[in-house]
Structure 1
Amino acid sequence: MTSSFSSELVVVREGGVRLLCREWGDRGDRGGAGADVLLLHGLAGHAGEWDATARLLRDSGHRVVAFDQRGHGGSERHPGDVSRAAYVADVVAVVEELGLDRPVLVGQSLGGSTALLTAAAHPGLPRALVLVEAGPGGAGSGVQEQIGGWLRGWPVPFPSREAAAAYLGGGKEPVGEGWARGLEQRADGLWPRFDPEVMVRSLDENATRAFWDEWAAVTCPTLAVLGQGEHGGIIGGEEYAEMVRVMPWLHGASLPGTGHDLHLERPRVLHRLIVDFLDDRSRELPRSPSCLGAHSSS
């Protein structure tokens, strides 16, 4: 599978932290019609997870950028600072260095947390916020042990991409393929492009507190997209209800039959939800009360 991104760029942060960015389309391609979009992957993920969604958004007239966040992929693997503030500062740096014009911030899982915190700390930066399987609730003290144990338990090196996809997908082919694309080939097989201990440290703040004050500070139009599969997504009904109470104009959608990696399972549906949401904003429709609706796949 080819990503069809038009260019790769590197943004260098304080301390020499390199951030590898991918861009689909540019101002000339979109003819000034679409919004800039910045896509943020989740913990232990990579920018390539967004390939399908990014191509669709580009073809809809948007300039799209995704980057391997610190500690991940082709970016700096062992940054000294993996605080929430450092992740947010990286977003601001990428926006400024690449000249993104009030981008739509789209983030999945921990990338959604980063997008939320960026929108709260820099209210003039995003024109809109899209959270994919992400919210302001705390992950809980056990999350680091749980995720750290899972990451350390990968049977690496994987002998083939097919074997990696089968292990990582949990029975869902698109999910396994998406995760497997983030691996790197070495002489003895395929290895993760991250250090599990860096990933665990990246969860320090999420494990100890929630971000409701930051959620209340978000002022831009916001869409929350949730998985609704056999085991459900990570955002429960009580958390979503509180999100709506604090932000009555929140737009929401749930995708039946999907899980936490719904951006890999249903990129076309996610693309349509984002495009329709942005079209509503461009027409300046009045904000309506949120309704968490069910959307079937296409």
Structure 2
Amino acid sequence: MEPTTHTLTTPDGTVISYTVFEGADPAVVILHGLAGSSREHLPTARALGGRRVVLVDQRGHGRSTRTPSDLSREAFVSDVAAVIDAVAELGITAPVDLVGQSMGAHTAMLVAAAHPEKVRRLVLLECDEGSGSAEEHKDLGDWLRAWPVPFADREAALAHLGDGALAQAWTADLEQRPDGLYPRFHADVMVDTIRAVAVPRWEEWESVEAPTLAVYAKGGMFTEEQKQRFVSRGRNVTRVDLAEGTHDAHLDAFEEWIAVLSEFLAQRG
């Protein structure tokens, strides 16, 4: 059966798009990272061996509202909780297994803290409690604004972005408009979003009770000190280090990622 795409509208008028793959419960809800979209997790959804999977375009990303009025972490959390409630009408009942990468992992962590009744298991790929500097945020914004959009075609996009796994995911997701191809996000929205993600959320992290898998890649963005500190302050955390991959290990260490994800989600309790 082909996946179905749905939308919901939040109280602040933001439209959230999500895609449902039919299969066995408990459902797996997956959240992408900053400047990504649910599209990059299509291979993960298809690899989960008959599980029901929900892929969410978080606010400001993908096919959801690109310029929402509220970019607080609380707004992102509320959106995910609303999706979990909405899919209950499709016969998908909580708790779900909640998976996120990077910014999406940070969102997932906060959802598990705010709504423990909705989360059975939690998987965080390349995540910490919140970090990053104003200089890093400025550099990110400058780089995103420098993309020569619209791209004439996907070959032109790859020529600018490179041929890495993340660049290929971005290129595949470009939106066709009459004058060319555009990314499915706005640079200023991304900068405002990551500023909120950078604020440490230790209180929330230390309150998460769901069994948690923290996954880090060999070439990820966090130092060993950051990883150890984060994992040690969680309540019920298993850490797995991938032998390969970057911060986007769901793309460039896919087989290893699927193996550790599937094993953890198959556990009971």
State the TM-score bracket (shorter-chain normalisation).
over 0.9
Q: Does 1:50 align with 2:37?
A: no
> Pairwise CA RMSD of aligned residues?
1.7
Q: How does 1:1-298 map to 2 (within 5 A)?
A: 5-25=2-22, 29-30=23-24, 34-57=25-48, 60-99=49-88, 100=92, 101-168=94-161, 170-172=162-164, 174-207=165-198, 209-229=199-219, 233-247=220-234, 249-279=236-266, 281-282=267-268
Query: How many positions carry a matched residue from both structures?
Result: 265
**4+ residue runs over 4 A deviation:** none
Name the stretch that deviates more: 157-166 or 85-94: 157-166
Deviation of 1:103 after TM superposition, in Å, equals 1.1
Deviation of 1:264 after TM superposition, in Å, equals 1.2
Deviation of 1:190 after TM superposition, in Å, equals 0.9
Deviation of 1:5 after TM superposition, in Å, equals 4.8
- Separation (CA, whole Å) in 1 of partners of 2:113 and 2:46: 28
Deviation of 1:228 after TM superposition, in Å, equals 1.0
Query: Which stretches in structure 1 are left out of the alignment for 5+ residues?
Result: 285-298
Query: AA paired with 1:244?
Result: V
Query: Which stretches in structure 2 are left out of the alignment for 5+ residues?
Result: none
- Separation (CA, whole Å) in 2 of partners of 1:241 and 1:90: 30
- Separation (CA, whole Å) in 1 of partners of 2:195 and 2:230: 22
Q: Summarize deviations over 1:195-250 as a string: whole Å, max 9, x none.
A: 1111111123234x311111101111111111212xxx122111111123213642
Identity of aligned residues (%): 40
**Contact 1:40/1:107 (CA < 8 Å) preserved in 2?**
yes
Question: 2:200 aligns to what SS in structure 1?
Answer: coil
**Contact 1:23/1:64 (CA < 8 Å) preserved in 2?**
yes
**Contact 1:11/1:18 (CA < 8 Å) preserved in 2?**
yes
Question: 2:19 aligns to what SS in structure 1?
Answer: strand
Query: AA paired with 2:59?
Result: R
In structure 2, relative to structure 1, the CA distance for the partners of 1:104 and 1:180 (3 Å cut) is same
